[in-house]
Structure formats: structure tokens, C-alpha cells
């Protein structure tokens, strides 16, 4: 028996059959409905795991259909994908506001996008999110905020403070990873090559045995894409499978996405135990961060899981902690002092900041921030 059941609601028979054949080829069980009313009956009777809906159906608008499904306890948690020829911004926004998880415009790329979304949405369950190691995502709204350096140094402090814990860092910065140059990794293994491996080979045991450990850093590394061309071949549908296996192998999984907020990284943010949002003190970064926070909130991200870290990467000038908090309307939990050229110097020597500058104030801040992040992630997981 197929493990997952997908409902297709589309008035166009040819389109419906084409989608069905594609999903059947991936071993999903498929139910088809030619109208919104019929779709509601099948959804409430057969309890599918996911629905693909053309919102242009005429008997019930796609938005009304989504609201009805979301308001009923039997289908409230069922992911909804809109697949439509209507590419207008207004229609996309109204569908997402009504409860659709994703919106795909019918085009030459629609099938591959739909396959990735179905695989991703069906691969993430509430129970799975709560299993395994704590998941922390590091992100920013603008490049140059020091997100990768902060991620690596926080991971190092977690590993050093908790020697019994297994820590892994995953580089999801696209199109080129940025953690490998910091720790000095030059090997062939990376997120792209592992995503290309057969799924049955990418197991928790594989990650425990095959990922390189960097002793001074106290963590293992899954490196990012080595170049832009490689990133174009990243099999995005495999990302959550990889993260799930890592969560089963490690106590802490820290993922650096930098400013790579996309349909690939959004599920990681949505299901992270903690989202570390790195903000620089320059006004442009703060202004770009505010819409990012709004977007995260609109996608159901718990704002309690956002750990805002103010990094004075641009120097002593810029906004103060209070001014940044007022602009973003969230608390700043940690403020990094200006590191001058010391951070770049430590990175160029592939050494943790605390190892290179143990008496620097920033070394203490890194240590305390790592403890606070660990405790907050653990408490949020327990809720």
C-alpha cells in the first residue's frame, strides 16, 4: 500500500490526469475530484495527506475551499498546494492568505516544482520535527553580517561546553557555501553530492561515520556547494531527508543559510527549534530585516523561536541596540562587540575565535550566547 495519499481538485480533466500520472509514478495514492464540492467530500471522507488544488475552479473559489478545509478539524493540518495558470500577484497572495502552503504557476517547470513541494511537505510531520537533535537555523537579511562566522563559533562553543554532545554544522548558503573556508575544509563531500546519493544510503549511520570532524571546532561539517554551477544541481527535495537523518545522528544540528531565504530553506526555518537572526547595525540591514520578520510570521514561524543577535560587523557606527529593537519590534538577545580585524584573522587561520583570542570580550559573549541559545531551544522543544 502507498504510504501517502494525495487529493487532486481540478476541473480540467486532462490537467488532473497528467498530475495524477506523475504522482502515481512516485508511488503516491491519488484521489481525483472535478469540483470544489466533490473535493470537500473526498477530503473529509478519505483524509488525504495533501491536496493539490487549482484555485480557479468555479463552484467554490480556491480561497473559500482552503478556508473550509483549514476550519475543519479533519483537514486543518493538511498541506495545500495551489497549481494554477493564474500568475497574478493578487491571486498568489489571496491563496497564501487563505491557507495554501505553496503556489505553483502552470509552466514548464511546474512538474519538478510540484514534485519537490509534495516530497517536502509530506516528509515533514509534527512528530518528526520533535524527534532527534535540536535544530538551529542561522540567517540574515543581508550579506556581510557575519552569519557564517557566528554560526561556526556558536557551534564550537556548544561542543566545547557540552563535550558529551554531538554537534554538526550544515552549510546551506547558496550559491556558494561559506563554512568550509572558515574551518579549512577542502574535501569533495558536500550538500550537493550527498543529495545525489541514493536515499537508502543516506542514513543516520552514514552521517555518524562519514562526516569529517574538526577537532579545534568540536563539530562535524556538512559543507555547502563549492560553486554556483553545483548549486544549480542541488536536489532540493532531498534536503529534509538529509536533515532528518542528521537530527537522528546528532544532538545539535546548526544550519547556516545566510541570506538564502527561499522555498528550499523556508521549511527549515518553519520547523527549527531556534532561528538565530543576525542583524548588523547599519540602517539598510535593519530595514531589510523587518520584512523578513513579517514574512516569517506570515509563514507560521513562532516569533518566540527567533533569537535576534546584533553584530557590529560594520564598526562602531550605526544603530544602537535600543534603536534596532524599536525598528524591528523584537528583543535583541545578544550584542556582539566590534571584532575589528580579529575575526577575519581567526578565520584565515581556520581557528575558533576563542582559541585565537581567549581573553577577548567577544570570546565570553560567544560562550554565553551559545549557552542561552541551547537553553532556549531546549525549552521551546519541551513546550
CATH number at residue 250: 3.40.50.300
Residues in the chain: 383
Strand 306-311 relative to strand 332-336, pairing: parallel
Residues 88 and 119 in one domain: yes
Let me know whether 163 and 115 are in one domain.
no
Mean pLDDT of 303-323: 87
- Please check the confidence at residue 315 and state whether its pLDDT lies above 70: no
Predicted pLDDT of residue 1: 38
Asked if 32 and 149 sit in the same domain, the reply is no
Q: Is pLDDT above 50 for 377? A: yes
Count the domains in the chain: 2
pLDDT tens readout for residues 247-289: 999 999 999 999 988 877 888 898 899 999 999 999 999 999 9
On whether both 53 and 177 belong to a single domain, the answer is no
Q: What per-residue confidence (pLDDT) applies to 365?
A: 96
Reading the block at residue 248, the C-alpha cell is: 537522528
Beta carbons within 10 angstroms of residue 229's beta carbon: 10
Report the percent of the chain where pLDDT is more than 90: 73
Same domain, 139 and 278: yes
pLDDT score of 298: 81
Cell (9 digits) for 94 = 489571496
196 in the same domain as 111: no
The whole-number average pLDDT for the span 3-24 is 92
Residues 228 and 310 placed together within one structural domain of the fold: yes
Question: 366 - beta bridge partners?
Answer: none
Helix, strand, coil abundance in the chain, percent, nearest 5:
45, 15, 35
Q: Could you tell me the pLDDT band of residue 128, with boundaries at 50, 70 and 90?
A: low
pLDDT of residue 314: 61
Please report which confidence band the pLDDT of residue 240 belongs to, taking 50, 70 and 90 as the band edges: confident
54-68, 99-113, 183-197: segment of lowest average pLDDT = 99-113
Average pLDDT, the chain: 91
- Weakest mean pLDDT among 49-63, 64-78, 174-188, 233-247: 233-247
- Are 236 and 359 members of one domain? yes
Same domain for 183 and 244? yes
Residue 2: the pLDDT is 47
pLDDT at residue 313 greater than cutoff 80: no
Please give the Cα distance from 38 to 59 (Å, whole number).
10
123, 156, 175 — which closes off a domain? Answer: 123
Q: Mention every residue, 6+ apart, whose C-beta is less than 8 A from residue 127.
A: none
State CA 108 to chain mean position distance: 26
The CA-CA-CA angle for residues 97, 114, 139, to 5°, reads 65
Average pLDDT over residues 343-357: 95
- Structural domain boundaries, residue 184: 130-382
> According to the model, what pLDDT value does residue 126 have?
56
Domain stop point among 75, 102, 123? 123
Residue of higher predicted confidence among 147 and 265: 147
Residue 163's pLDDT is 95
Among 123, 147, 174, the domain-final residue is: 123
- Whole-angstrom Cα distance, residue 339 to residue 355? 14
Kindly state the percentage of the chain with pLDDT values over 70. 96
* Section 160-175 average pLDDT: 96
pLDDT bracket for residue 49 (50, 70, 90): very high
C-alpha cell at 39: 473535493
pLDDT exceeds cutoff 90 at 336: yes
Q: Assess whether 118 and 135 both reside in one domain.
A: no
- Phi/psi-derived region of residue 368, left when phi > 0, alpha when psi is between -120 and 50, beta in every other case: alpha
pLDDT, mean of residues 186-209? 92
pLDDT of residue 338: 87
pLDDT digits (tens, 9 = 90+) for 354-363: 999 999 999 9
Beginning with the edge strand found earlier in the chain, give each strand of the sheet holding 134-140 in spatial order.
212-214, 219-222, 167-171, 252-258, 134-140, 274-280, 306-311, 332-336
Shared domain check, 325 and 188: yes
CATH number at residue 58: 3.40.50.2300
- Integer Cα distance of 159 and 170 in angstroms: 15
pTM given for the model: 0.76
* Alpha carbon distance 39, 31 (integer Å): 9
Whether 107 and 221 map to the same domain: the answer is no
Amino acid at each position: 500500500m502507498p504510504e501517502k495519499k494525495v487529493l487532486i481538485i481540478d476541473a480540467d480533466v486532462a490537467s488532473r490526469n497528467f498530475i495524477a500520472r506523475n504522482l502515481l509514478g512516485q508511488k503516491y495514492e491519488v484521489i481525483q475530484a472535478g469540483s470544489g464540492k466533490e473535493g470537500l467530500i473526498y477530503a473529509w471522507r478519505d483524509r488525504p495527506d495533501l491536496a493539490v488544488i487549482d484555485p480557479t475552479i468555479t463552484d467554490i473559489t480556491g480561497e473559500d475551499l482552503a478556508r473550509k478545509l483549514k476550519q475543519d478539524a479533519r483537514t486543518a493540518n493538511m498541506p495545500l498546494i495551489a497549481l494554477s495558470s493564474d500568475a497574478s500577484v493578487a491571486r498568489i497572495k489571496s491563496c497564501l492568505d487563505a491557507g495554501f502552503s505553496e503556489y505553483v504557476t502552470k509552466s514548464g517547470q511546474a512538474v519538478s516544482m510540484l514534485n519537490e513541494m509534495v516530497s517536502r511537505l509530506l516528509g515533514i510531520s509534527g512528530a518528526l520535527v520533535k524527534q532527534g537533535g535540536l535544530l538551529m537555523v542561522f540567517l540574515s537579511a543581508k550579506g556581510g553580517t557575519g552569519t557564517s562566522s557566528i554560526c561556526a563559533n556558536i557551534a564550537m562553543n556548544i561542543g566545547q561546553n557540552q563535550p558529551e554532545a554531538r554537534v554538526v554544522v550544515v552549510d546551506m548558503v547558496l550559491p556558494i557555501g561559506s563554512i568550509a573556508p572558515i574551518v579549512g575544509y577542502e574535501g569533495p563531500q558536500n550538500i550537493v553530492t550527498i543529495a545525489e546519493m541514493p536515499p537508502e544510503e543516506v542514513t543516520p549511520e552514514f552521517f555518524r561515520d562519514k562526516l569529517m570532524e574538526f577537532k579545534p571546532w568540536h563539530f562535524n561539517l556538512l559543507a555547502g556547494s563549492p560553486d554556483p554551477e553545483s548549486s544549480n544541481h542541488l536536489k532540493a527535495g532531498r534536503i529534509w531527508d538529509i536533515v532528518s537523518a542528521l537530527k537522528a545522528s546528532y544532538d545539535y544540528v546548526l544550519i547556516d543559510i545566510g541570506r538564502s531565504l527561499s522555498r528550499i530553506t523556508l521549511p527549515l526555518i518553519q520547523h527549527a527549534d531556534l532561528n538565530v537572526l543576525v542583524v548588523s547595525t547599519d540602517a539598510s540591514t535593519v530595514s531589510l530585516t523587518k520584512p523578513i520578520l513579517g514574512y516569517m510570521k506570515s509563514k507560521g514561524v513562532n516569533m518566540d523561536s527567533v533569537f535576534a543577535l546584533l553584530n557590529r560587523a560594520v564598526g562602531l557606527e550605526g544603530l544602537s541596540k535600543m534603536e534596532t529593537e524599536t525598528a524591528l519590534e523584537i528583543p535583541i538577545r545578544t550584542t556582539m562587540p566590534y571584532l575589528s580585524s580579529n575575526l577575519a584573522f581567526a578565520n584565515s587561520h581556520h581557528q575558533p575565535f576563542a582559541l585565537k583570542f581567549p581573553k577577548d570580550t567577544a570570546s565570553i559573549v560567544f560562550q554565553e550566547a551559545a549557552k542561552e541559545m541551547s537553553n532556549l531551544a531546549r525549552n521551546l522543544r519541551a513546550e
